[in-house]
Structure 1
C-alpha cells in the first residue's frame, strides 16, 4: 500500500475517534473542543505524526532513490539502446562486409576451381607431351638402330660399289666407241666390245645413232629372244640393233632417246626422253629409265617403264592368259599389253581391222581413240649425254 493511502486511512481513523471524544467532552464541560484537544491531540498525534513523517521521509527518500534508480536505469537503458543501435549498425555493416567477403571468397573459390581445372588440363597436356616425347624417343631409338644397320649395309656395299666402279671403268676401256658425234663423213656408228665383233649402226641428222627403224614390211620383226638380243635386219633399211648392244651403250654413258613417227598420210610427230637406259640380259633387258618426256606425239612409252622385254619365246609381260608378242607380232617392253608397239606387224596401207594383229601404233597419236590405223614409219635413235 502506498504511503499516501496509509496516511489518509490513519487520519480518517483519528478524526473518527476525535469526533467521538469531542462529543463526550462537550457534554461534560463547557470548554471548546479545540482548546480541550490541543494538548491531548498533540500528545497523542505527535508520535504518530513523527512516525508518519519518518515514514513519509523514508518513503520520499525511497521514492527519490527509486526515481534516481529509475532515472539511472533509464540512462543505462538509453545508453544500452544507443550501444545496441550502434552495435546493430556495426553488426549490419559487419554482416554486409561478411557477405561481400563471402562473395569474394566464392569468387576466389571459383577462380581456384578454374585454375585447378586449367592445371589439370595442363597436367594432361604435359602427360600427353611426355607420352609423345617417349614415343618420339622410341622412334628415334628405332631410327638410330635402323641407321646403324643401314650403315653396316652401306659399309658392306661400299666394297661392292668399288668393284662395280672398277668393272664399269674396265668396261669403258673395253668398249671402244666412235659415236655419230665424231664418226666422220660415212655416217656410220662403230662399236667394238671385247669378245664381240665390231658392229655398225647408221647415224641420222643431227648425229643420232639409230637403234630401230621401220620403213616397210621387208623385214619380219616377229622374232625370238636371240634375234632381239643380237639384232637383225638391214642397217640401211628396216632393222633392230640388238638389246645387248643397246644395254652396253646406255650402261657406259647416259643417253637421250628420240623417236620419229609418220603415218600413211605423211604426218610426222616425235617423242623425246632425256634419260634412256636398258638393263642387262640377267634383268631381261628391263626398260630401266626414260627420264622426262617432250614432243608432239604424246607420252605412250612411260606405261612400259620397268617392264622386261617380251618375245615370242620369252613371255615377260603382265598379261596373264596370252603373250603380248603374239598379239602384236613383234617383241617389245610389254606391260599388259602396251600403249606403244613399234616392232608390231607392218601394214603397207596403214590400216587394220579390229580382228587383225596389232600394227605399229602410238596410242597418244590419236588420243587413245584409234587402233584401226598403223603407222608406216618409225625410227628410234639415241645419243650420249655429256658426263
Structure 2
C-alpha cells in the first residue's frame, strides 16, 4: 500500500530547484548593493576630505590676498611719499637753477685782490674781493681798523672795507652757497709771519630763518688742523642774538665778535684784533684757530682770510 505524501513535501525539491536561481540572483544583487554602498561611503569621505582641503586653501588664499592688499597699500603710500620727495626736489632744483642764473659776475680784474661786482637774486648789486683763481673773499682781518663786535643786522648785511678788513654778510654768503655748491679756503698768519691754512670741500650756510646755521663743511684738508667741524650745525651768534649752547652766557660777547659758536668754540676769526698777537688776563678772546696753536688761547692771529669758490659740477656718465 503506497504511503501518502503531503503537497509541501512533494513541492520541496521541485520548488527549491525553481527558486534557487532567483535566490542566487537576489544574493548577487545584495552583494553588489553592499559594494556600491561601500564605494559611495568611501567616495563621500574622499569628497569631504577634498572639500576640507579646498576650504583650507581658500582660507589661506584669502589671508594671502588680505596681506597682499595691505602690502599694496603700504607700497602705494611709499610711492606717494617718494613722489612728494621728487616733486620737492624738483622744486628745489628749479629754485637753485634760477638762483644760479641770477648770480652774475659783471666785472672782474685778473690781478690779485681785485674787486668785482656781483648781483645775487633778492639783493642789491655789491662788491667783493676776488682773485684770479675765482676765490671770493668773504672775511678778512689784517688790522684792528674795523670793529667786528657787531650786532645781528651788521653781520647779516656785511661791514668793513672790501680792500681791507671786512665781512661780506651772512645773507650774501647764504645765497651764494645755496645757488651753487662751494668750497671754503681759510688762510691764517701769526705775528711771526708763520702761515697755515684749512680747506673744506662743501661749505654751506643756511637762511636767516635758520639763523644762518653752518649746514655743511664737507671734508677737511690743510696744515692748520680742523678747528671748524666742532661748529657744524650751529647757528650764528652775535652780541644781540644768542644762539650758542653755552650756559655761562653769550659767547659772542666774551669773544668780541660773531661766530657759529657752540660751547663756545675751537676757532673764532671775528674776535678782537691784537696788534702784538698776545692776550693777557681779563682781555677779550682774540683771533684763534685752536688746532694750529695747540689750543693756546693767549695767542691771537694777526691775519685771517676766508674765501669761497664754486665747485665744478660733476658730469653725468651715461652707460
Q: Same fold (TM over 0.5)?
A: yes
TM-score normalized by structure 2? Answer: 0.71
Q: How does 1:264-283 map to 2 (within 5 A)?
A: 264-283=191-210
Secondary structure of 1:343's match?
coil
- How far is the alpha carbon of 1:171 from its aligned partner? 2.1
Deviations 1:8-61, CA, capped at 9 Å, x for gaps: xxxxxxxxxxxxxxxxxxxxxxxxxxxxxxxxxxxxxxxxxxxxxxxxxxxxxx
The residue that corresponds to 2:226 in the other structure is 299
Secondary structure of 1:348's match?
coil
The residue that corresponds to 2:177 in the other structure is 250
- How far is the alpha carbon of 1:152 from its aligned partner? 2.4
**Structure 1 CA distance for aligned equivalents of residues 102 and 133 of structure 2:** 27
Which of the numbers 180, 187, 190 marks the counterpart of 1:260?
Answer: 187
The residue that corresponds to 1:137 in the other structure is none
Q: Are 2:110 and 1:185 aligned? A: yes
- How far is the alpha carbon of 1:156 from its aligned partner? 2.2
Q: Are 2:275 and 1:344 aligned? A: no
Q: Which protein has the bigger helix share? A: 1
- How far is the alpha carbon of 1:164 from its aligned partner? 2.1
Q: How does 1:87-236 map to 2 (within 5 A)?
A: 149-178=77-106, 183-185=108-110, 187-204=114-131, 206-236=133-163
Deviations 1:299-335, CA, capped at 9 Å, x for gaps: 0000001111111111111112300100101000011
Change (3 A) 1:353 1:158: same
Tell whether the 8 Å contact from 1:188 to 1:200 is kept in structure 2 after alignment.
Answer: yes
- How far is the alpha carbon of 1:222 from its aligned partner? 0.4
- How far is the alpha carbon of 1:355 from its aligned partner? 2.2
**Structure 1 CA distance for aligned equivalents of residues 95 and 130 of structure 2:** 29
**Structure 1 CA distance for aligned equivalents of residues 143 and 267 of structure 2:** 18
TM-score normalized by structure 1? Answer: 0.59
User: Gaps (5+ residues) in structure 2?
Assistant: 1-68, 314-319
Alpha carbon RMSD of aligned pairs, Å?
Answer: 2.3
The residue that corresponds to 2:26 in the other structure is none
Tell whether the 8 Å contact from 1:284 to 1:309 is kept in structure 2 after alignment.
Answer: yes
Secondary structure of 2:162's match?
coil
User: Gaps (5+ residues) in structure 1?
Assistant: 1-140
Change (3 A) 1:270 1:151: same
The residue that corresponds to 2:51 in the other structure is none
Equivalenced residue count is 244
* Structure showing greater relative contact order (alpha-carbon pairs closer than 8 Å, 6 or more residues apart): 2
The residue that corresponds to 2:301 in the other structure is 375
Secondary structure of 1:366's match?
coil
Change (3 A) 1:144 1:183: farther
Change (3 A) 1:376 1:154: same
**Structure 2 CA distance for aligned equivalents of residues 144 and 287 of structure 1:** 41
The residue that corresponds to 1:285 in the other structure is 212
**Structure 1 CA distance for aligned equivalents of residues 294 and 248 of structure 2:** 27
Tell whether the 8 Å contact from 2:120 to 2:176 is kept in structure 1 after alignment.
Answer: no
Deviations 1:102-157, CA, capped at 9 Å, x for gaps: xxxxxxxxxxxxxxxxxxxxxxxxxxxxxxxxxxxxxxx99998765443222223
Tell whether the 8 Å contact from 2:178 to 2:204 is kept in structure 1 after alignment.
Answer: yes
Change (3 A) 1:172 1:204: closer
Tell whether the 8 Å contact from 1:189 to 1:209 is kept in structure 2 after alignment.
Answer: no
Which of the numbers 257, 260, 264 marks the counterpart of 1:330?
Answer: 257
